[in-house]
Amino acid sequence: MRIATWNVNSVNARLPTVLEWLEAAKPDVACFQEIKCVDEKFPREAFEALGYNVETHGQKSYNGVALLSKYPVSDVRRGLPGDDTDEQARYIEALIEAARPVRVASIYLPNGNPVGTEKFPYKLAWFERLRLHAEGLLKLEESLALCGDYNVIPMPEDAKNPAAWTGDALFQPESRAAFRALKWLGLSDSHELGKEPAGTFTFWDYQAGAWQRDHGIRIDFALLSPMAADRFRAIETHRDARDMEKPSDHVPVVVELED
């Protein structure tokens, strides 16, 4: 099973690019973030024509996540539990009913900038809600993949120029500690399982020639439960997608699990 995660940065604005990549890479499951549209405006027919079942949790103009699956899906959850007042569409989860099922979540964690505003505490609170929910999911002892844009730079080697990020919410000690706390529940970073080399980045800003100078960061992850990690076979970071026509500022990450 090939599971992809990709912050597409507006699915309608980049639909030809996204479809071209899907047809070439052929993931069985795709987790999208920042679809930037309400459910009714998601171009589901285009993806259904490629054989995908489509589940979305959208929001007008901002955020939004989606799950696409070549397999049937069930037990769909829209929204992260823990705060009934949170209206931001950042989490969708479903059971992928393959011969060996996998529970998959598409996650768009809050950015948190600027640090001195209410956006940073919201980011940390959201991280804690994710940790608590993941703790409950792990008790199910299923194959679980928590995929998405985590908006955190875990280690200095996950940035080409760490010094440029010291004032950013993505690289604050509290953000990095929250990511470690999530992993310490027993989740494995597929990047580490696959022994990807240093400099395997997933995001390059549109500004200041970041892509041309390779000033990238690694902020997109597929975290795997022990049962999923036992099935891990490979990981691919599709850097070439950043060079496609009208690209997202993120690139897809694809994890392969044994069927």
What confidence tens digit (pLDDT) does each residue in 73-111 have? Answer: 999 999 999 999 999 999 999 999 999 999 999 999 999
Give the count of domains, the chain: 1
Band the pLDDT of 208: cuts 50, 70, 90.
confident
User: pLDDT at position 11, please?
Assistant: 98
Query: What mean pLDDT is reported for the chain?
Result: 98
CATH code of residue 50: 3.60.10.10
**Complete DSSP assignment for the chain:** -EEEEEE-S-TTTTHHHHHHHHHHH--SEEEEE---S-GGGS-HHHHHTTT-EEEEE--SSS--EEEEESS-EEEEEES-TT-TT-----EEEEEE-SSS-EEEEEEE-----STTSTHHHHHHHHHHHHHHHHHHHHTT---EEEEEE-----SGGGBSSGGGGTTSGGG-HHHHHHHHHHHTTT-EEHHHHTTPPTT---B--SSTTTTTTT--B--EEEEE-HHHHTTEEEEEE-GGGGGSSS--SB--EEEEE--
Beta-bridged to residue 104, according to DSSP, are 94, 145
Q: Mean per-residue pLDDT for 34-41? A: 98
What does the pLDDT look like over 127-162, one tens digit per residue? 999 999 999 999 999 999 999 999 999 999 999 999
User: pLDDT at position 44, please?
Assistant: 98
The pTM score is 0.98
Band the pLDDT of 35: cuts 50, 70, 90.
very high
Residues recognised as catalytic: 108, 149
Show Cβ contacts of residue 196 under 8 Å, excluding neighbours closer than 6 positions: 235, 237
Range of the domain at 57: 2-257
How far, rounded to the nearest angstrom, does the alpha carbon of residue 250 sit from its chain's CA centroid?
10
User: pLDDT at position 244, please?
Assistant: 97
User: pLDDT at position 113, please?
Assistant: 98
Distance, CA of 250 to CA of 240 (rounded, Å):
11
Q: Mean per-residue pLDDT for 33-40? A: 98
